[in-house]
């Protein structure tokens, strides 16, 4: 008998199905060292070599030839393309036909089902792998295998997305239970009864709470955006006002400063936002304070300011009176 080590050595030498004279000499030498007769070792080596060759032939796709002209026939062909001889399908094509039929049927089921069973997908994948291993060169097998792979990949992608949604719902459900526990948990007078007496009501209330929670989350996000806009607007307006204050008020720049102040208007973002209202009120106080300064300066220097601006700023009535008087004088002349 050969030792396990020698058997492994023989198997390694016969992986490619070919045994060179040098490899045979090494194997015989090792067998003789183990006390095995050379003739017996040769027989055992030849037997192993034959076994490997038969196994490879069994796994390899069969090549069919026309019995009339010897032309190699494509699989599933009943008529020779060269001589027209009718050829009966070889029994070795039965497995190919079976695999194609199973893949076609399984693919149709997978594409039609909205929620295919995992066993259907697993069986279809098994048929695809076997068909590619035995008949990978067959055009129809290649086409079906490609379509099946695409459908299975899509199925697994959707399955992964469904798992994410389920996990998110479970997380929200857990948060809802914790929140419910914080707001009362169990009724003191109800013993072991919960605040929600029936499973149906409990599920309905839980779903309602989850929806309310989601809406609240979006509301918080939107409110955060509005607050950020209010902060940005406040910073911009205060910066413009500070730049205006940096230059002292004079008769020459009074009109420009008054016009600049008129442009500093708060643009409403969210009339219900408390944060924005606080920011707007704070800016209005700063703006009103500066307007008071302008009003005081104008009260002290209004004549010079009006004269410098040609009475175009505040006393428009005097301009109209001057025009009417000029037109009257022209008419009398």
pLDDT, tens digit, 9 for 90 and up, residues 22-79 = 777 887 888 788 787 777 777 877 777 777 777 766 665 555 667 677 777 665 555 6
Segments of the chain scoring below 70 in pLDDT: 1-2, 14-17, 56-65, 67, 73-79, 84-93, 174-175, 178-209, 212-224, 271, 311-323, 333
Q: Which pLDDT belongs to residue 182?
A: 56
Q: Which pLDDT belongs to residue 242?
A: 92
Give whole-number Cα distances, 27 to 12, 48, 278, 294, in Å.
Answer: 11, 12, 94, 111
Q: Which pLDDT belongs to residue 134?
A: 81
Q: With H, G, I as helix, E, B as strand and everything else as coil, classify residue 87.
A: coil
Please report, for the chain, the start and end positions of each structural domain, with discontinuous segments joined by +.
Answer: 4-60, 93-177, 221-332
Give whole-number Cα distances, 39 to 36, 42, 58, 134, in Å.
Answer: 9, 5, 29, 37
Query: Which pTM value belongs to this model?
Result: 0.31
């Amino acid at each position: 008998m050969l030792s396990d080590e020698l058997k492994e050595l023989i198997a390694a030498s016969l992986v490619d199905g070919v045994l060179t004279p040098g490899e045979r000499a090494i194997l015989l030498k090792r067998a003789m060292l183990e006390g095995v007769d050379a003739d017996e070792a040769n027989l055992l080596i030849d037997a192993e070599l034959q076994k490997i060759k038969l196994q490879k032939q069994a796994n390899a796709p069969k090549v069919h030839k026309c019995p009339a002209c010897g032309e190699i026939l494509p699989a599933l062909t009943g008529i020779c393309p060269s001589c027209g001889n009718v050829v009966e399908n070889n029994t070795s094509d039965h497995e190919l036909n079976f695999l194609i039929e199973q893949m076609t049927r399984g693919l149709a089921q997978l594409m039609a089902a909205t929620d295919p069973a995992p066993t259907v997908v697993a069986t279809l994948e098994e048929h695809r792998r076997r068909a590619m291993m035995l008949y990978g060169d067959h055009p129809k097998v290649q086409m079906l295998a490609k379509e099946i792979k695409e459908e299975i990949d899509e199925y697994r992608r959707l399955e992964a997305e469904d798992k994410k949604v389920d996990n998110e719902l479970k997380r929200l459900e857990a948060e809802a239970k914790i929140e419910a526990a914080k707001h009362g948990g169990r009724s003191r007078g109800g013993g072991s009864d919960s605040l929600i007496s029936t499973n149906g009501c409990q599920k309905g209330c839980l779903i309602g709470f989850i929806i309310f929670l989601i809406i609240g989350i979006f509301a918080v996000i939107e409110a955060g955006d509005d607050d950020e806009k209010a902060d940005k607007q406040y910073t911009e307006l205060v910066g413009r006002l500070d730049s205006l204050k940096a230059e002292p008020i004079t008769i020459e720049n009074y009109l420009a400063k008054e016009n600049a102040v008129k442009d500093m208007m708060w643009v409403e973002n969210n009339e219900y936002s408390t944060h924005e209202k606080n920011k707007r009120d704070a800016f209005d106080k700063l703006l009103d304070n500066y307007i008071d300064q302008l009003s005081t300066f104008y009260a002290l220097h209004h004549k010079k300011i009006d004269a410098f601006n040609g009475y175009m700023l505040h006393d428009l009535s005097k301009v109209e009176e001057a025009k009417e008087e000029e037109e009257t004088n022209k008419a009398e002349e």
